[in-house]
């Protein structure tokens, strides 16, 4: 299985791009790479033609060269066609004797009897099949099938983009340029901090491809064909560098987020279309714009949502090429060193923008507890969320001062504001960060466990400089939402194992897949539904998709070998649901034991308490769960009927509503009676006022984002546990929000 680790190495895939002159050459390099590492005599990639419902051989090493493009099979025909129809791998020692074998004369296939095929699937659709063949004295084994499954998963996006470029080359149409919008010149806007930090920079507005629209309106000096060829090479190097940065900084994102950019650069029709216009006398930047517009129209005309989204990739690529043609001749739109303003972002957008070194971000929609905000915090991107659509029309030459600590936005700030900002940064730089003590205690000696919420492996770097008692919440959905397809069991194990190795001897709590709501998988229609907050999300999604759930559980159990492992199910609402999930963990452990695969056979299993229905039967849950963790973000959302990602109702999102505080006290009491562990892992654990109440309610384990660990330890050290208990008892007896606020923040009413 040594070749498995290689397949998680983006560097090798970067080599495939670098050494390929076009799409066809790229696919040939892919089959050569796979054949070499799988010790196969033959490797083939088939594309699935949806229109004709047939497989077409598009790349091969080992068979006759003239077979590419000529070997075709209907869906269900031949071994490869049956493999794709059933979406199941096929492994046989004698392909000639297989009932589905189809003979193609003249390609020498009969020399290779050992046969292994794996379907290539992306975003719930059939892409093609990858096939390996060996001579009869060297049959494929189960570990080869497992490795090929990983290969298929990792190459799915790349091959889908290659397929897309191949099919798109026959269509060329035009699109019209959009009109300019009135521009906002100067303003102060109050927003909400989503990821803390400061930034002062020029802006880059990302909406409906405006960077490309800006370029369309420019006038360019005359450039030569040589300038274009040079620009293409420079663009390719830049994109490869960006991809390497993503892989270096974010091991969890072992998928090529710039795949389509590189694929378009390798597309002969796209490049030759530009060259043809240049040879006819068109200025290279204008030729790039002209051909790009045709491709944008093609992409946008597709009924496939995924293909329509790719129009943004080609716009981005065109701007990069033109920037490299003109170099420093003029200032072109870009995001490096800028504060980005966008109506919305997906996690993949945040990854890409981080790799391009933006200074900060402003979102016009969303909530401060969204996963985009959490990801921005992990990546150190200051972010503010504000319901102010006019920001999308801000003057492109404006500078913004972003105070993402308190949520202030200053457009073209005056000198006095800049001076105050500079003084504040200077004072902050001189302040030495408070050193953490090994043990967290209240003033009167009550020990409090401080745990970390971990989003990406990158968070482990921060934790090395801090003191924490373990990982109270690992959000396992991030390796899912930042990718372009479902990660396999092996890919998940690779990430989870690094997490376990990064916290030796400390408790690690894995929350199982929590998607849906504001956490949409771009490649799954199952999470794109109306009213997603109340739809198929979290444990409901996992139990409806048992194989995906089982793969994750197996990966967690294997990664947690010899670790202090806890598995936590999100959004549990009934005893039956919890017991079903717990039984799946037991079955997965039994399966691993039967196969002789080392794993943790006795993890603690617990639940997130975040649904009102669970609160009402919390004592019964305390009898079957090993631990509770109160997810205050969703508990508040569901108890108060407030969509936490909707700025229009943000004022109703009140953690100190009496119903919320009484629920927390009730959950804590049930855990204490049953003598099971209880913690809080939501944003309430990040507030000094709420920490007082939580400790008073009997909760002595708090899990928070790493950046809060130091300051919260200092806050806890100043608290008296007895006083906290008295405060909590008084507060749960109050019915008015204002009365509770007076007790939690007395300084505001003094």
Which tens digits make up the pLDDT trace of 533-547?
677 778 999 999 999
Does 6 have pLDDT greater than 60? no
What pLDDT shows up at residue 205? 86
Question: Is residue 732 situated within a structural domain?
Answer: no
What pLDDT shows up at residue 622? 97
> What's the per-residue H, E or C state across 253-300?
HCCCCCHHHHHHHCCHHHHHHHHHHHHCCCCHHHHHHHHHHHHHHHHH
Q: Which of 104, 134, 168 is the last residue of a domain?
A: 168
What pLDDT shows up at residue 175? 29
Closest to 153 (Cα-Cα) out of 528, 477, 492, 539: 492
Question: Is residue 621 situated within a structural domain?
Answer: yes
For residues 231 and 155, membership in a common domain is answered with: no
Q: How would you classify residue 581: left for phi > 0, otherwise alpha for psi between -120 and 50, otherwise beta?
A: alpha
For residues 668 and 533, membership in a common domain is answered with: yes
Which tens digits make up the pLDDT trace of 280-325?
999 999 999 999 999 888 888 877 666 777 787 888 889 889 989 9
What pLDDT shows up at residue 255? 52
How crowded is residue 582: how many other Cβ atoms within 10 Å of its Cβ?
Answer: 18
Mean pLDDT for the stretch of residues 625-632: 97
For residues 526 and 672, membership in a common domain is answered with: yes
Any idea of the CA torsion for 608, 612, 618, 624, to the nearest 10 degrees? -50
CA 727, 728, 729, 730 torsion-angle sign: positive
For residues 661 and 615, membership in a common domain is answered with: yes
What pLDDT shows up at residue 360? 94
CATH code where residue 193 lies: 3.50.30.10
Pick the residue with more confidence: 163 or 575? Answer: 575
What pLDDT shows up at residue 260? 75
Closest to 391 (Cα-Cα) out of 400, 381, 404: 400
13 confidence band (pLDDT: 50, 70, 90): low
For residues 503 and 620, membership in a common domain is answered with: yes
Does 8 have pLDDT greater than 90? no
How crowded is residue 524: how many other Cβ atoms within 10 Å of its Cβ?
Answer: 18
- Which region among 258-267, 385-394, 588-597 has the lowest average model confidence (pLDDT)? 258-267
What pLDDT shows up at residue 143? 87
For residue 389, give Cα distances in angstroms to 205, 207, 376. Answer: 12, 11, 21
For residues 195 and 163, membership in a common domain is answered with: no
174 confidence band (pLDDT: 50, 70, 90): very low
Pick the residue with more confidence: 498 or 428? Answer: 498
What pLDDT shows up at residue 718? 94
Domain that holds residue 705: 449-720
Which tens digits make up the pLDDT trace of 487-535?
889 889 988 999 999 999 999 999 999 876 555 555 455 545 555 567 7
Question: Is residue 729 situated within a structural domain?
Answer: no
Mean pLDDT for the stretch of residues 188-209: 83
Does 135 have pLDDT greater than 50? yes
CB 613 within 8 A of CB 573: yes
46 confidence band (pLDDT: 50, 70, 90): very high
Does 239 have pLDDT greater than 90? no
Question: Is residue 147 situated within a structural domain?
Answer: yes
How far apart, in whole angstroms, are the C-alpha atoms of residue 514 and residue 539? Answer: 7
Mean pLDDT for the stretch of residues 374-396: 85
Helix H or strand E encompassing 188 = strand 187-190
CATH code where residue 125 lies: 3.30.450.40
How far apart, in whole angstroms, are the C-alpha atoms of residue 337 and residue 706? Answer: 25
| 32-46, 506-520, 663-677: which is most confident | 663-677
Does 739 have pLDDT greater than 90? yes
What pLDDT shows up at residue 432? 57
Tell me what the pLDDT averaged over the chain comes to: 85
For residues 496 and 360, membership in a common domain is answered with: no
How far apart, in whole angstroms, are the C-alpha atoms of residue 101 and residue 691? Answer: 67
157 confidence band (pLDDT: 50, 70, 90): confident
Mean pLDDT for the stretch of residues 164-184: 45
CB contact set of 131 (below 8 Å; sequence gap of 6+): 42, 43, 44, 45, 46, 79, 80, 115, 116, 117
CB 168 within 8 A of CB 160: no
253 confidence band (pLDDT: 50, 70, 90): low
Question: Is residue 45 situated within a structural domain?
Answer: yes
Token couple for 679: 């913690």
Split into its structural domains, the chain has a count of 3
For residues 558 and 585, membership in a common domain is answered with: yes
- Which region among 118-132, 192-206, 429-443 has the lowest average model confidence (pLDDT)? 429-443
17 confidence band (pLDDT: 50, 70, 90): low
Q: How would you classify residue 53: left for phi > 0, otherwise alpha for psi between -120 and 50, otherwise beta?
A: left
How crowded is residue 214: how many other Cβ atoms within 10 Å of its Cβ?
Answer: 15
661 confidence band (pLDDT: 50, 70, 90): very high
For residues 229 and 156, membership in a common domain is answered with: no
CATH code where residue 535 lies: 3.20.20.60
- Which region among 55-59, 182-186, 647-651 has the lowest average model confidence (pLDDT)? 182-186
485 confidence band (pLDDT: 50, 70, 90): low
Pick the residue with more confidence: 164 or 489? Answer: 489
Mean pLDDT for the stretch of residues 726-746: 95
Any idea of the CA torsion for 265, 267, 271, 272, to the nearest 10 degrees? 170
Question: Is residue 741 situated within a structural domain?
Answer: no
Helix H or strand E encompassing 114 = strand 114-122
Pick the residue with more confidence: 168 or 112? Answer: 112
DSSP, residue by residue, 126-166: EEEEEEEEE-TTS---HHHHHHHHHHHHHHHHHHHHHHHHH
Token couple for 708: 């809060």
Mean pLDDT for the stretch of residues 109-137: 88
Question: Is residue 430 situated within a structural domain?
Answer: no
430 confidence band (pLDDT: 50, 70, 90): low
Does 550 have pLDDT greater than 80? yes
Does 479 have pLDDT greater than 80? no
Token couple for 650: 């943000």
Question: Is residue 608 situated within a structural domain?
Answer: yes
Q: Which of 375, 406, 422 is the last residue of a domain?
A: 422
| Burial class (CB within 10 angstroms; exposed 0-12, middle 13-18, buried 19+) of 116 | buried
What pLDDT shows up at residue 181? 43
What pLDDT shows up at residue 650? 79
How far apart, in whole angstroms, are the C-alpha atoms of residue 651 and residue 352? Answer: 32
For residues 191 and 145, membership in a common domain is answered with: no
Q: Which of 373, 405, 422 is the last residue of a domain?
A: 422
For residues 144 and 292, membership in a common domain is answered with: no
For residues 123 and 214, membership in a common domain is answered with: no
179 confidence band (pLDDT: 50, 70, 90): very low
Mean pLDDT for the stretch of residues 549-567: 96
């Amino acid at each position: 299985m040594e070749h498995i680790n290689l397949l998680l190495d983006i560097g090798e895939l970067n080599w495939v791009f670098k050494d390929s002159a076009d799409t066809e050459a790229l696919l040939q390099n892919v089959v050569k790479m796979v054949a070499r590492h799988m010790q196969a005599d033959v490797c083939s990639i088939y594309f699935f033609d949806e229109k004709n419902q047939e497989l077409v051989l598009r790349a091969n090493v080992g068979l006759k060269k003239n077979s590419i493009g000529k070997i075709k099979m209907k869906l269900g025909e031949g071994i490869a066609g049956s493999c794709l129809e059933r979406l199941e791998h096929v492994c046989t020692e004698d392909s000639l004797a297989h009932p589905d074998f189809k003979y193609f004369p003249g390609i020498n296939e009969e020399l290779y009897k050992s046969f292994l095929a794996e379907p290539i699937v992306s975003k719930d659709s059939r892409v093609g099949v990858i096939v390996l063949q060996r001579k009869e004295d060297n049959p494929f084994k189960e570990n080869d099938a497992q490795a090929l499954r990983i290969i298929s998963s990792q190459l799915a996006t790349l091959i889908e983009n290659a397929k897309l470029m191949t099919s798109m080359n026959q269509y060329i149409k035009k699109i019209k340029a959009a009109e300019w919008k009135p521009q906002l010149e100067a303003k102060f806007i109050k927003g909400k901090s989503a990821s803390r930090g400061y930034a002062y920079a020029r802006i880059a507005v990302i909406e409906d491809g405006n960077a490309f629209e800006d370029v369309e309106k420019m006038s360019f000096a005359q450039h030569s064909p040589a300038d274009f060829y040079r620009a293409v090479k420079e663009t390719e190097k830049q994109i490869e560098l960006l991809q390497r940065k993503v892989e270096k900084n974010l091991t969890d994102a072992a998928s090529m987020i710039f795949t389509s950019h590189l694929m378009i650069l390798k597309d002969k029709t796209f490049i030759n279309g530009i060259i043809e216009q240049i040879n006819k006398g068109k200025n290279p930047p204008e030729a790039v714009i002209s051909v790009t517009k045709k491709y944008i129209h093609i992409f946008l005309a597709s009924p496939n949502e995924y293909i329509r989204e790719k129009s943004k990739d080609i716009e981005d690529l065109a701007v990069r090429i033109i920037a490299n043609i003109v170099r420093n001749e003029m200032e072109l739109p870009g995001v490096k060193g800028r504060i980005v303003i966008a109506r919305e972002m997906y996690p993949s957008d945040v990854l890409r923008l981080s790799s391009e070194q933006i200074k900060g971000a402003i979102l016009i929609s969303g909530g401060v507890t969204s996963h985009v905000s959490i990801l921005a915090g992990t990546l150190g991107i200051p972010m503010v969320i504000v319901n102010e659509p006019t920001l999308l029309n801000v003057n492109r030459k404006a500078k913004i001062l972003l105070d993402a600590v308190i949520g202030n936005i200053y457009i073209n700030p005056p000198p006095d504001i800049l001076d105050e900002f500079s003084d504040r940064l200077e004072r902050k730089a001189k302040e030495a960060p408070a050193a953490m003590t090994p043990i967290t205690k209240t003033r009167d000696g009550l020990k409090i466990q401080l745990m970390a919420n971990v989003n990406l492996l990158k968070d482990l770097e921060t934790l090395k400089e801090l003191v924490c008692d373990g990982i109270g919440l690992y959000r396992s959905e991030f390796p899912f939402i930042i990718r372009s397809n479902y990660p396999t069991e092996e890919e998940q194990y690779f990430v989870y194992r690094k997490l376990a190795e990064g916290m030796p001897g400390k408790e690690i709590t894995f929350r199982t897949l929590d998607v849906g709501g504001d956490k949409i998988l771009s490649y799954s229609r199952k999470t794109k539904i109306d009213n997603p907050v109340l739809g198929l999300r979290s444990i409901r999604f996992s139990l409806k998709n048992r194989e995906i759930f089982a793969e994750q559980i197996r990966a967690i159990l294997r990664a947690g070998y010899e670790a202090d492992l806890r598995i936590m199910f999100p959004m549990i609402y009934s005893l039956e649901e919890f017991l079903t999930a717990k039984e799946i963990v037991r079955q997965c452990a039994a399966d691993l034991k039967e196969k002789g695969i080392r794993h943790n056979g006795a993890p603690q299993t617990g639940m997130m308490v975040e649904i009102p229905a669970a609160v009402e039967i919390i004592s019964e849950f305390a009898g079957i769960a090993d631990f509770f963790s109160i997810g205050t973000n969703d508990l508040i959302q569901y108890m108060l009927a407030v969509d936490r990602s909707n700025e229009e109702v943000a004022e109703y999102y009140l953690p100190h509503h009496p119903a919320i505080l009484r629920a927390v006290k009730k959950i804590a009491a049930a855990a204490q009676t049953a003598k099971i562990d209880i913690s809080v892992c939501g944003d309430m654990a990040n507030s000094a006022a709420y920490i007082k109440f939580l400790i008073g309610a009997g909760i002595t384990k708090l899990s928070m984002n790493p950046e809060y660990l130091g300051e919260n330890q200092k806050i806890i050290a100043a608290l008296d546990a007895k006083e906290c208990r008295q405060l909590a008892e008084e507060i749960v007896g109050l019915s008015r929000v204002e009365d509770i606020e007076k007790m939690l923040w007395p300084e505001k009413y003094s």
